[in-house]
Chains A and B, each alone.
Chain A
């Protein structure tokens, strides 16, 4: 049984630890937090497993590797809802939907009736929509808690103080690893959680808008998570303007959101490399697993597998990045 250390217990660290345990390694995880929480970037995630929609702007590996994520999370015992994604656009920006359809795949076009059949609460609001059938979503906070609890059950030690690393170290600190990885930058994202019992969505809905794009992801007990801002900054303050935009876009999606209770406003900066693709970087006994950008839950499973392959199988997987400094 080889010893291995993981630094960071966000989605990247927990997925790497899970992969290492599966391979029979003796794993210690360093992280100051006793449980997944607000200081992990992944705490603020949407939890959409939407590789095809992301393909609108993301590079090809995101679409391909993201397709294994729903199966992976489900195989870990995390509840995954497989009802696809709905994509809509306000009437006057209807050509946005055509552009989106051209640049993505895996979708079918719905007319108003078909949309109403899938999401009754959106009936009459949009005359057409896309349904991306093979996509899924999960509750990211529940998923993080589940992985962490299961790892502890499996004998993984979680240590708050970072001590001496044993064996190979997997550095999964996200933006905090900028001391070692200067190419990392923060891309700010704001989110809000509403309690909106008056409107029921059963799958993530993306509202395409030239200025204020939005996604709304259903959570348990009538809650909805709103997100989409993407700002080139590692500022972590919750800006009125961004929240205003999120809430206005939600109101455009359905006026019933106007009556919702504002439960939470969150913000964090996602770690990203210049190509917005994740990287595996090896330096001595340390392997950096970082740069998941807005694709933490989507790509962490594939990246964790690659990290283990790089460490123990002597291969150089897809996201292996030659270290030039």
Chain B
């Protein structure tokens, strides 16, 4: 998949928060083959270089770092955090989160579009964390985003794809825009489903980090993503009501 002129080999992206230890985090990346690591700048930062030791460990994973603005509740906070992330990680990429609702962590669509516009004009390449709303998607694209990251379900819930119709519509409306299902996945089967629907990649964190064996779950997701992508590329059959035996019936004795 190609995003902002960059070829991304792995269709699995992993967050780096909430793991039992950085060693477990590294093992999860190793077994998953995930090519992109999202890093929360705001919560860990505390200003200056206080989180530097952890960020060094993330850099040592040898994957592309996609810093995010997790936990930002206003445009201003998100923009400031993005600017800080650009300096820290020397990248124009930013996963933009502007949270609009404290309980569901639902994106603030208005703030998101505004922040995306400000950051794009400032030279950022924005990966917006958004809902499956088609109108919002249109506005984000107009603001300069070249990729969309619709949620599957609210962050950290593990509920999977809660609005399949909405996601399907979004995918169908913008067939050429790279899309990453971000947030809400709890099980590999849900990742497979997203990939079968034609999404280009998935991003998850809690499902792996909070599993009893994060590395095993990471590998499970990697295989699931691969399975779903293969199925999508293979052009699946259409479901039908009429049974159609895969073995010809003609020539067999009808005994029953």
Interface 9-residue window, one of A8-16, A115-123, A215-223, A229-237 = A229-237
Question: Chain B's nearest CB lies how many Å from the CB of A253?
Answer: 19
**A233, B139: Cα distance in complex, Å:** 36
Q: Is A276 an interface residue (CB 8 A)?
A: yes
Q: Which residues of chain B in 36-80 are interfacial with respect to chain A, using CB atoms and an 8 Å cutoff?
A: 43-48, 50-51, 53-54, 57
- Digitize B191-226: 1 where CB-to-A-CB distance is under 8 Å, 0 elsewhere: 000000000000000000000100000000000000
Instruction: Assess whether B23 is interfacial by the CB under 8 Å rule.
Output: yes
Say yes or no: is B156 at the interface (Cβ < 8 Å to chain A): yes
| Contact status A275-B43, CB under 8 Å | no
Q: Which of B18-34 contact A (CB under 8 A)?
A: 20-24, 26
CA gap between A93 and B188 in the complex, in Å: 23
Q: In whole angstroms, what is the CA distance A277 to B57 when docked?
A: 16
Q: How far is the CA of A272 from the CA of B51 in the complex (A)?
A: 13
Asked if A204 is an interface residue, CB under 8 A from chain B, the answer is no
Q: Does A210 contact B (CB under 8 A)?
A: yes
Complex interface: chain A residues within 8 A of B24 (CB):
275
- Do the beta carbons of B212 and A102 come within 8 Å of each other? yes
Question: Are A231 and B20 in contact, CB atoms less than 8 angstroms apart?
Answer: no
Chain B, residues 128-145, CB within 8 Å of chain A (1/0): the string is: 000000000000000000
State in angstroms the CA–CA spacing of A102 and B213 once bound together.
13
Which residues of chain B are within 8 angstroms of A2 by Cβ–Cβ distance? none
Given A103-B212, A210-B156, A233-B44, A274:B21 Cβ within 8 A: yes
Question: Does A195 belong to the interface (CB within 8 Å)?
Answer: no
| B20 contacts A57, C-beta separation under 8 Å | yes
Nearest CB in chain B: distance from A231 CB, A? 6
Q: Is the CB of A274 within 8 A of B44?
A: no
User: Is the beta-carbon distance between B57 and A185 smaller than 8 angstroms?
Assistant: yes
Contacts of B48 in A (CB 8 A): 235
- CB neighbours of A272 from chain B (8 A): 21
CB distance from A184 to the nearest CB of B (A): 8
Contact among A57, A103, A231 for B44, CB-based, below 8 A: A231
* Residue A47 is within 8 A (CB to CB) of chain B in the complex: no
Pair A274/B20 contact, Cβ less than 8 Å: no
Whether the Cβ atoms of B53 and A275 lie closer than 8 Å is no
Is A239 engaged at the interface, CB distance under 8 Å to the other chain? yes
Q: Is A186 positioned at the interface, with any CB of B under 8 Å from its CB?
A: yes
Interface bits A240-279 vs B (CB < 8 Å: 1, else 0): 0000000000000000000000000000000010111100
B212 touches A232 (CB 8 A): no
When chains A and B are docked, how far (Å) is the Cα of A222 from the Cα of B176? 64
Known interface pairs A210-B156, A239-B46; A232-B21 also in contact (CB < 8 Å): no
Count of chain A residues near B, Cβ 8 A: 23
Q: Which of A185, A231, A274 contacts B46 (CB 8 A)?
A: A231
Number of A-B contacts (CB under 8 A): 57
Q: Are B51 and A233 in contact (CB under 8 A)?
A: yes
Contact A274 B50 (CB under 8 A): no
A184's nearest neighbour on chain B, judged by CB, is: B53
Q: In the complex, A211 Cα to B50 Cα: how many Å?
A: 22
In the bound complex, how far is the Cα of B44 from the Cα of A152, in angstroms? Answer: 40
- Nearest Cβ distance between residue A179 and chain B, in whole angstroms? 13
Task: Give CA–CA (A311, B245) in the complex, Å.
Answer: 74
Closest to A231 in B: B44
Q: How far is the CA of A205 from the CA of B206 in the complex (A)?
A: 25
Establish whether residues A235 and B46, one from each chain, have CB atoms under 8 Å apart when the complex forms. Answer: yes
With A232-B51, A233-B45, A235-B47 known as contacts, the answer to whether A276 contacts B20 (CB < 8 A) is: yes
- B43 adjacent to A274 (CB under 8 Å): no
Is A101 located at the chain interface by the 8 A CB criterion? no
A184, A210, A274: the one within 8 Å of B26 (CB): A274
**A148 at the B interface (CB under 8 A):** no
Q: A233-B44, A233-B46 are in contact. Are A186 and B20 (CB under 8 A)?
A: no
Nearest CB in chain A: distance from B178 CB, A? 30
Tell whether, in the assembled complex, residue B22 and residue A274 are in contact, meaning their CB atoms are under 8 Å apart. yes
A residues near B22, Cβ cutoff 8 Å: 185, 274-276
User: In the bound complex, do residue B53 and residue A234 qualify as a contact, i.e. CB atoms below 8 Å apart?
Assistant: yes
Nearest CB on B from A188, distance (A) = 7
Decide if A233 touches B54 in the complex (CB within 8 Å).
Answer: yes
What is the chain B residue whose CB lies nearest that of A276? B21
Nearest CB of chain A from residue B220's CB, rounded to whole Å: 17
Contact between chains at B212 and A234 (CB < 8 Å): no
Q: A58 in the interface, Cβ–Cβ < 8 Å? A: yes
Q: Is there an interface contact between B45 and A275, defined as CB atoms closer than 8 Å?
A: no
Task: State the CA gap A59–B54 with chains docked (Å).
Answer: 19
Q: What separation, in Å, do the CA atoms of A152 and B43 have in the docked complex?
A: 42
Query: What 11 new A-B contacts, CB under 8 Å, besides A233-B46, A275-B22?
Result: A59-B20, A186-B50, A211-B156, A231-B46, A232-B51, A232-B53, A232-B54, A233-B44, A274-B22, A276-B23, A277-B21
User: Lowest 3 CB-CB distances: which A-B pairs, in order?
Assistant: A235-B46, A185-B53, A235-B50
* Cβ contacts A to B, 16 pairs, < 8 Å: A58-B20, A59-B21, A102-B212, A184-B53, A188-B46, A231-B43, A231-B44, A232-B44, A233-B44, A233-B45, A233-B50, A235-B45, A237-B47, A239-B46, A274-B26, A276-B23
